[in-house]
């Protein structure tokens, strides 16, 4: 059997918080037991990459977690993948054997869940180095590299017919929004929905709500440029909180006849979780959180919200179990993601994608390796 060697390739390395990524020659070690090495084909930039790059302290690091690619080699014990398989990487894995993987109620794998320390799950080590210096991972994916190593439980085999330059969006943001609407909230026909934040995540919730037959989809965003685009995704009413002299939840209550059936926080602002909770109706109003806050992680709420029957529900990756659910989502949805792709850029221009997203000028930028 061929033993995979170290690969030297290009990667965009973050050396410091908030500083432009730098293209470097990196060494990518062979996949360790139960890992696979993937040739990344496309990766899209997600808001969470930016949040981590701005606010975390683990450097040097290779960011990127929304990606598609082709298996280049497999480590010992991998039976599920062979060289040439098409895959999506996932930032939260599925081991298939832990209590959560065995439960229908959870996608929070206890073995391959969200990795926060910048290393691989199996040995807390890294698979990248630059001039002998280790480079940390991000979410155990690190797709801003021509080659990356991921645990075989953090990759999903997809149809060879699915266009890799599009389906990378289903590896995180779009899937998270659709799943929040379908799996977590389970929106029913005729419902009234409010969505806070009309980025890719919020607009995917809107599309999911529309497909479920929601009758009114209210979109809230401080960027007025979002409205035109949002209409295509099913948003029926647009509210810019800066244009009102009263709290936005009061406006929402008024136009929804007493509060919405569902509200979704897709900004990453815990203050907005409170507003979202105040915007849904008594009795059965459900607030779902999707955002990942950078600061002030505590949530404030008056207890009366819960006395009056409201529910606050968290979610990660829209409740999808990646291995079990993503292949069929890809088959069903691969031709519907185009509207989310506002920019396509070559790998060396990745810093432009960061700027576009920080300035609120894009939904998804797909980076072509």
DSSP 294-358: SS-------THHHHTT-EEEE-SGGG--HHHHHHHHHHHHTTS-GGGEEEEEEGGGHHHHHHHHH
Stretch that binds ligand APR, among 67-75, 114-122, 161-169, 218-226 (CB under 6 A): 218-226
The partner residues of 44 in beta bridges, in order of sequence, read 66, 366
Q: Which is nearer to Zn ion, 9 or 98 (CB)?
A: 98
Backbone phi, psi, residue 119, to 5°:
-130, 180
Name which of ligand APR, Zn ion, none residue 351 binds, using a CB cut-off of 5 to 8 Å depending on partner kind: none
276 binds ligand APR (CB under 6 A): no
Q: How far is the CB of 368 from ligand APR (least distance, A)?
A: 19
CA 195 – CA 218 distance, rounded (Å): 6
Among 197, 234, 259, 285, binds ligand APR (CB under 6 A): 197
End-to-end, the C-alpha distance of the chain in Å comes to 29
Which of the residues 129 through 158 are near ligand APR (CB under 6 A)? Answer: none
Supply the DSSP symbol for 241.
Answer: G
Q: How far is the CB of 49 from ligand APR (least distance, A)?
A: 9
266 binds ligand APR (CB under 6 A): yes
200 binds ligand APR (CB under 6 A): yes
247 binds ligand APR (CB under 6 A): no
Among 95, 214, 239, 365, binds Zn ion (CB under 5 A): 95
Among 65, 86, 226, 343, binds ligand APR (CB under 6 A): 226
Q: How far is the CB of 101 from ligand APR (least distance, A)?
A: 22
By CB atoms closer than 10 A (0-12, 13-18, 19+), residue 213 is exposed
Cβ atoms of residues 141 and 150 within 8 Å: yes
Quote the Cα angle for 265-103-38, to 5°.
75
Q: How far is the CB of 48 from ligand APR (least distance, A)?
A: 4
314 binds ligand APR (CB under 6 A): no
Q: Which residues bind ligand APR (CB under 6 A)?
A: 46-48, 51, 173, 196-202, 220-223, 226, 241, 266-269, 290-292, 360
């Amino acid at each position: 059997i061929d033993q995979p060697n170290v690969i030297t390739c290009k990667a965009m390395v973050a050396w410091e918080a908030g500083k432009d990524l730098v293209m470097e020659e990196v060494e990518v070690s062979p996949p360790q037991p139960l890992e696979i090495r993937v040739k990344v084909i496309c990766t899209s930039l997600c808001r969470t990459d930016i949040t981590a790059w701005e606010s975390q302290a683990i450097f040097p690091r290779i960011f990127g977690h929304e990606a598609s690619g082709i298996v280049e080699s497999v480590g010992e014990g991998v039976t599920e993948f062979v060289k040439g398989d098409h895959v999506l990487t996932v930032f939260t894995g599925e081991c298939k054997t832990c209590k959560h993987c065995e439960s229908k109620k959870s996608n929070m794998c206890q073995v391959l869940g969200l990795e926060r320390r910048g290393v691989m799950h199996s040995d807390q080590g890294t698979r990248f180095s630059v001039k002998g210096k280790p480079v940390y991972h991000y979410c155990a994916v690190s797709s801003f590299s021509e080659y990356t190593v991921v645990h075989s439980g953090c990759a999903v085999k997809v149809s060879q017919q699915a266009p890799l330059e599009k389906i990378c969006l289903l590896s995180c943001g779009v899937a998270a929004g659709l799943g929040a609407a379908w799996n977590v909230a389970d929106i029913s026909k005729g419902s009234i929905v409010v969505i806070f934040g009309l980025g890719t995540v919020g607009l995917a919730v809107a599309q999911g709500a529309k497909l479920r037959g929601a009758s009114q989809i209210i979109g809230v965003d401080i960027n007025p440029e979002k409205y035109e685009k949002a209409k295509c995704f099913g948003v029926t009413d647009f509210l810019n909180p800066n244009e009102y002299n009263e709290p936005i939840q009061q406006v929402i209550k008024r136009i929804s006849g007493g509060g919405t059936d569902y509200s979704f926080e897709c900004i990453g602002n815990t203050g907005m979780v409170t507003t979202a909770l105040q915007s849904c109706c008594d009795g059965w109003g459900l607030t779902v959180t999707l955002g990942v806050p950078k600061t002030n992680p505590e949530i404030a709420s008056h207890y009366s919200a819960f006395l009056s029957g409201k529910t606050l529900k968290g979610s990660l990756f829209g409740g999808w179990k990646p291995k079990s659910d993503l292949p069929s989502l890809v088959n069903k949805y691969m031709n519907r993601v185009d509207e989310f792709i506002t920019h396509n850029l070559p790998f060396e221009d990745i810093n432009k994608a960061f700027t576009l997203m920080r300035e609120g000028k894009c939904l998804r930028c797909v980076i072509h390796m």
